[in-house]
Chains A and B, each alone.
Chain A
């Protein structure tokens, strides 16, 4: 019997798990993906939104600004890199100006610092901004972090404080029971067999999966793109997720030092219209730059293919807007040949047009944290405190005296000084083996990412944790070596190593065996 089962190990689920680990509760997180951070959190830009743009009075407005403050705090507690470099929304025409004034009003109501800046003070704030820019809304509390690191760090810290996790465990049914809920999850037989009460007879021949039922006093729905499905299993107050796909284009870090803040144009008249916060250019904590994103409704919330139309929209937009940005105001054309990657995913937009938070009337003990579209990543810890609070009020658990808010984390080799590097190598010579040349990721860090609790089990999971393969060659040089290391660490044949779990094996067989 668990006190709380959390469905979904994205940023909101992991934040909730970590918040609950402050108490003496038995908490289980069920994640359907091969890895944590597999849905919307994986496709996130990492922007920390200050909270200037949600419509006042909505859940999005209620959780955004407090979430922003909490995000900086947890990045600090869990040693995750973040950058408070402000958000700058710019306008180049009259309708853009009207939009700025509207956002300034929202910011005021949402208690978010924001200020409209016009020339000449604009040129003090942003000396390299394009001359067509009429004004900007300067939001000093905006920032950027690494959404994967945040999610993994929250999960690791929750795990260290006693929370249990199952990956590849897809919740297929939730029934109300006397004590609370019976939650059934389908998981690989190999994993299920270790759970007391599961018998080999339960294993389904097809795919080797097994249904396992857990009982819990309370359930928290953090299932993002599938939060409608989970809610609708329990409550008659149904809602629907409308997945909104957005893509990002990644630029090499060559000129990112010129970009001192995140810049975005007012969303008006842009592709995607009001569904995006605008086309943004963001310097990531890794130094690369993200361009995006658009918004297109699709059917599958797990859709992550890169759409031709999205890429073209983004590239075409930035070709035009480049002259307004600090990187192009001197006439430098958009550097199409510095594009190193593209990625995309879906925002879990609910048809209620807001986060779906709290207990439905007809299902006490079942707590929603769904419809978690942007700015849910920024808001994740504020949402977590709220939904965890509902559980605490209900279950009245004692405090976990052993709770440790910190996570031991080593600085990335790439961010170390040479003295720190020397010391790290002296301690572990694997630090001198550079596996990913482009992002300067060492073998020590890759092995650590696999060995850590809830660690990486595939090439792309190593990438999300270490940046190996995220750079300009996109894993061309390092993936064969990462594959070898995974095979060694996991004790499997290289032929069994996958790109991203499931049937995504990298290799097809042995050569010269024909």
Chain B
């Protein structure tokens, strides 16, 4: 079995960034495993611009953004394997992968960064009824046919959902001489970035139908038209509102889902809200030494934030590896004084794992749960360690509705640990739920959906809210991730952190 200090699964924006930053933080024995024939992941098919404004202060295309990182990987001579598919990830951080060059390989990693990205929600997952012939595909698949292979998947297109990939593809289809007949969005607002609505849809006068769904796909061997109907406030079709739009292609751009099958198979605790792993503020999952970042952790809107998170994960993995080494040295030293006998390498590493687990268990009591309050969904990280070595903690989440003149607050209720009844009931429920789980991260997992919101209501009626941060925003939409950074020392005494959004819903 091959031994590697840090294995990065996925060579897209998150994985490359993680590898580069781990290298810069002292890790030399790194291996990136990438299933495609080139580094870059989905960026290889993103020929449009708008990338890199944060990270490189430059307007790059996705392809160029990927190349910047791929260049860094190459300059630093970080090893990577292409056409390599990970088929198994185990809780002991062993990995099984296959590639035509290497065959089936087993790798023991000291640390792992998960950076597998996400997949698109399919037509069938959306339960769109009707014909099942050709001409129905996700926007990303169409993007691949067009931008990698050079083929047009259709000539007259209807797009379901207003996710960014669909919007970008709408513009490209129009510039390719195709017609985009409609964008059909179930919500009353766009799911994509406002700038993409402007420069991809409004610029080309593409009709957008809000509060609408495809009620039926028509056609036999290929799509010939779709029926579009209005939905009520429960998002159910209102019968009689349907009208027909002729088209030969239906593109689906209605959401992305983190690809966490490997994560789950390793037994890592998952978040129901983000569909990614539950992580501490250093992006570490419930299995020590396994980190998660990018779209596999939670779906981002911007690659810049993906690579930023990747860099964070790489840095934290490097720090963790260093700490492990020190612990191992101490362990070995103390062992030697006791028994003088040489301890086998394997036994030592086992001891280290146990020690690490034990020390993690101890600190769990001091973990700070991060809870979603009003208007907040899918928060990452779900737990902050009270003794975090990081100078500041980044919190990312999505607004659950559209707001104007909104204020995001982070607060805690300082009575939470002392009083047992009343307003704190909900929070207690959350933590009790967690005790049935395997570790403290399950606690926030159970709490993050319903209980946290109840907790926040309780909190507002209580008098002891301590505000950690308040930030004002002109507008917030579910299509845009919020990122809030709080200095770690402000969090030291917080028993919990609750995020809320207040503002005018539009």
Does A touch B (CB under 8 Å) in the complex? yes
Asked whether, in the complex, the Cβ of B35 is within 8 Å of the Cβ of A509, the reply is: no
Asked whether, in the complex, the Cβ of A474 is within 8 Å of the Cβ of B152, the reply is: no
Asked whether, in the complex, the Cβ of B264 is within 8 Å of the Cβ of A508, the reply is: no
Min CB distance B307 to A, Å, is: 22
- Closest Cβ neighbor of A428 among chain B residues: B100
Interface residues of A in 449-486 (CB under 8 A from B): 472-477, 479-480, 484
Asked whether, in the complex, the Cβ of B127 is within 8 Å of the Cβ of A504, the reply is: no
Interface residues of B in 85-135 (CB under 8 A from A): 85, 87-88, 96, 98-100, 102-104, 106, 119-120, 122-125, 127, 129-135
Point out the residue from B104, B119, B216 that lies within 8 Å of A421, measured CB to CB.
Answer: B104
A409 interface hit (Cβ, 8 Å): no
A-contact bits for B123-156, CB 8 A (1 contact / 0 none): 1110101111111011011001110111111110
Min CB distance B464 to A, Å, is: 33
- Contacts A479-B141, A499-B134 given; does A432 touch B87 at CB 8 Å: no
- Contacts A254-B264, A305-B131, A474-B125 given; does A511 touch B35 at CB 8 Å: no
In the bound assembly, the distance between CA atoms of A474 and B126 in angstroms comes to 12
Asked whether, in the complex, the Cβ of A476 is within 8 Å of the Cβ of B132, the reply is: no
Interface residues of A in 500-514 (CB under 8 A from B): 500-512, 514
In the bound assembly, the distance between CA atoms of A475 and B136 in angstroms comes to 11
Interface residues of A in 365-424 (CB under 8 A from B): 418, 421-422
- Closest Cβ neighbor of B272 among chain A residues: A337
A311 interface hit (Cβ, 8 Å): yes
Q: A434: which B residues are within 8 A, CB to CB?
A: 35, 85, 87, 98
Q: A511: which B residues are within 8 A, CB to CB?
A: 146, 150-152, 176
B222 interface hit (Cβ, 8 Å): yes
In the bound assembly, the distance between CA atoms of A339 and B125 in angstroms comes to 6
Q: B130: which A residues are within 8 A, CB to CB?
A: 305-306
B-contact bits for A55-69, CB 8 A (1 contact / 0 none): 000000000000000
Q: B131: which A residues are within 8 A, CB to CB?
A: 305
Asked whether, in the complex, the Cβ of B137 is within 8 Å of the Cβ of A479, the reply is: yes
Asked whether, in the complex, the Cβ of B152 is within 8 Å of the Cβ of A509, the reply is: yes
Asked whether, in the complex, the Cβ of A509 is within 8 Å of the Cβ of B124, the reply is: no
B249 interface hit (Cβ, 8 Å): yes
Q: B137: which A residues are within 8 A, CB to CB?
A: 476, 479
Min CB distance A314 to B, Å, is: 10
A119 interface hit (Cβ, 8 Å): no
Asked whether, in the complex, the Cβ of B138 is within 8 Å of the Cβ of A425, the reply is: no
Asked whether, in the complex, the Cβ of A512 is within 8 Å of the Cβ of B153, the reply is: no
Min CB distance B9 to A, Å, is: 13
- Report, as a range, how many residues of chain B touch the other chain: 35 or more
- Contacts A432-B104, A508-B154 given; does A308 touch B133 at CB 8 Å: no
In the bound assembly, the distance between CA atoms of A510 and B146 in angstroms comes to 8
Point out the residue from A339, A431, A472 that lies within 8 Å of B127, measured CB to CB.
Answer: A339
Min CB distance A65 to B, Å, is: 34
- Contacts A339-B127, A474-B124, A494-B151 given; does A508 touch B248 at CB 8 Å: yes
Asked whether, in the complex, the Cβ of B176 is within 8 Å of the Cβ of A437, the reply is: no
B61 interface hit (Cβ, 8 Å): no
Q: B100: which A residues are within 8 A, CB to CB?
A: 425, 429-430, 432-433
Q: B217: which A residues are within 8 A, CB to CB?
A: 305
Asked whether, in the complex, the Cβ of A509 is within 8 Å of the Cβ of B221, the reply is: no
Min CB distance A413 to B, Å, is: 9
Min CB distance A484 to B, Å, is: 8
B-contact bits for A331-367, CB 8 A (1 contact / 0 none): 0000001011111000000000000000000000000
In the bound assembly, the distance between CA atoms of A305 and B88 in angstroms comes to 37
Min CB distance A431 to B, Å, is: 8
In the bound assembly, the distance between CA atoms of A254 and B263 in angstroms comes to 12
- Closest Cβ neighbor of A249 among chain B residues: B127
Min CB distance B477 to A, Å, is: 22
In the bound assembly, the distance between CA atoms of A480 and B131 in angstroms comes to 21
Residue among A250, A480, A484, A505 with max Cβ neighbours from chain B (10 Å): A480
A304 interface hit (Cβ, 8 Å): yes
In the bound assembly, the distance between CA atoms of A472 and B138 in angstroms comes to 13
Q: A26: which B residues are within 8 A, CB to CB?
A: none
Q: A484: which B residues are within 8 A, CB to CB?
A: 149
Asked whether, in the complex, the Cβ of A476 is within 8 Å of the Cβ of B141, the reply is: yes
A498 interface hit (Cβ, 8 Å): yes
In the bound assembly, the distance between CA atoms of A421 and B103 in angstroms comes to 9
Asked whether, in the complex, the Cβ of A504 is within 8 Å of the Cβ of B152, the reply is: no
Q: B154: which A residues are within 8 A, CB to CB?
A: 508
Asked whether, in the complex, the Cβ of B120 is within 8 Å of the Cβ of A340, the reply is: no
B215 interface hit (Cβ, 8 Å): yes
In the bound assembly, the distance between CA atoms of A343 and B131 in angstroms comes to 10
A83 interface hit (Cβ, 8 Å): no
Q: B98: which A residues are within 8 A, CB to CB?
A: 421, 425, 431-432, 434
A492 interface hit (Cβ, 8 Å): no
- Contacts A305-B131, A308-B129 given; does A480 touch B221 at CB 8 Å: no
Q: B144: which A residues are within 8 A, CB to CB?
A: 480
Q: A343: which B residues are within 8 A, CB to CB?
A: 132
- Contacts A305-B130, A480-B149, A504-B134 given; does A422 touch B104 at CB 8 Å: yes
Asked whether, in the complex, the Cβ of A512 is within 8 Å of the Cβ of B132, the reply is: no
Asked whether, in the complex, the Cβ of B99 is within 8 Å of the Cβ of A508, the reply is: no
In the bound assembly, the distance between CA atoms of A475 and B216 in angstroms comes to 21
- Contacts A254-B264, A339-B125, A514-B177 given; does A499 touch B87 at CB 8 Å: no
In the bound assembly, the distance between CA atoms of A432 and B99 in angstroms comes to 5
A426 interface hit (Cβ, 8 Å): yes
In the bound assembly, the distance between CA atoms of A495 and B132 in angstroms comes to 19
Q: A514: which B residues are within 8 A, CB to CB?
A: 176-177
Q: B119: which A residues are within 8 A, CB to CB?
A: 472-473, 476-477
In the bound assembly, the distance between CA atoms of A149 and B124 in angstroms comes to 23
In the bound assembly, the distance between CA atoms of A510 and B88 in angstroms comes to 38
Min CB distance A228 to B, Å, is: 22
A307 interface hit (Cβ, 8 Å): yes
Asked whether, in the complex, the Cβ of B216 is within 8 Å of the Cβ of A308, the reply is: yes
Asked whether, in the complex, the Cβ of B222 is within 8 Å of the Cβ of A476, the reply is: no
- Contacts A433-B100, A473-B119 given; does A305 touch B134 at CB 8 Å: no
In the bound assembly, the distance between CA atoms of A495 and B133 in angstroms comes to 16
Min CB distance A425 to B, Å, is: 5
- Contacts A308-B216, A340-B124, A425-B104 given; does A507 touch B141 at CB 8 Å: no
A229 interface hit (Cβ, 8 Å): no
Asked whether, in the complex, the Cβ of B103 is within 8 Å of the Cβ of A422, the reply is: yes
Q: A418: which B residues are within 8 A, CB to CB?
A: 88, 96, 104, 106
Min CB distance B173 to A, Å, is: 10
A-contact bits for B199-221, CB 8 A (1 contact / 0 none): 00000000000000001110001
Q: A422: which B residues are within 8 A, CB to CB?
A: 103-104
Asked whether, in the complex, the Cβ of A494 is within 8 Å of the Cβ of B264, the reply is: no
A-contact bits for B75-86, CB 8 A (1 contact / 0 none): 000000001010
In the bound assembly, the distance between CA atoms of A254 and B264 in angstroms comes to 9
A440 interface hit (Cβ, 8 Å): yes
Asked whether, in the complex, the Cβ of B149 is within 8 Å of the Cβ of A494, the reply is: yes
- Contacts A308-B129, A343-B132 given; does A476 touch B138 at CB 8 Å: yes
Min CB distance B182 to A, Å, is: 18
Q: B129: which A residues are within 8 A, CB to CB?
A: 305-308, 311, 342
- Contacts A304-B132, A476-B120 given; does A504 touch B222 at CB 8 Å: yes
In the bound assembly, the distance between CA atoms of A315 and B127 in angstroms comes to 10
In the bound assembly, the distance between CA atoms of A507 and B134 in angstroms comes to 9
Min CB distance A470 to B, Å, is: 10
Min CB distance B152 to A, Å, is: 5
Point out the residue from A305, A476, A510 that lies within 8 Å of B152, measured CB to CB.
Answer: A510
- Closest Cβ neighbor of A425 among chain B residues: B103
- 16 contacts across the A-B interface (CB closer than 8 A): A250-B124, A305-B216, A305-B217, A306-B129, A339-B125, A341-B125, A343-B132, A418-B88, A429-B100, A434-B85, A476-B122, A494-B151, A503-B222, A508-B248, A509-B155, A511-B151
A residues bordering B, Cβ < 8 Å? 250, 254, 304-308, 311, 315, 337, 339-343, 418, 421-422, 425-426, 429-434, 437-438, 440, 472-477, 479-480, 484, 494-495, 498-512, 514
Q: Which 10 A-B residue pairings sit nearest by Cβ, starting from the closest?
A: A514-B177, A499-B134, A474-B122, A504-B134, A504-B221, A429-B100, A308-B129, A434-B85, A341-B124, A432-B98
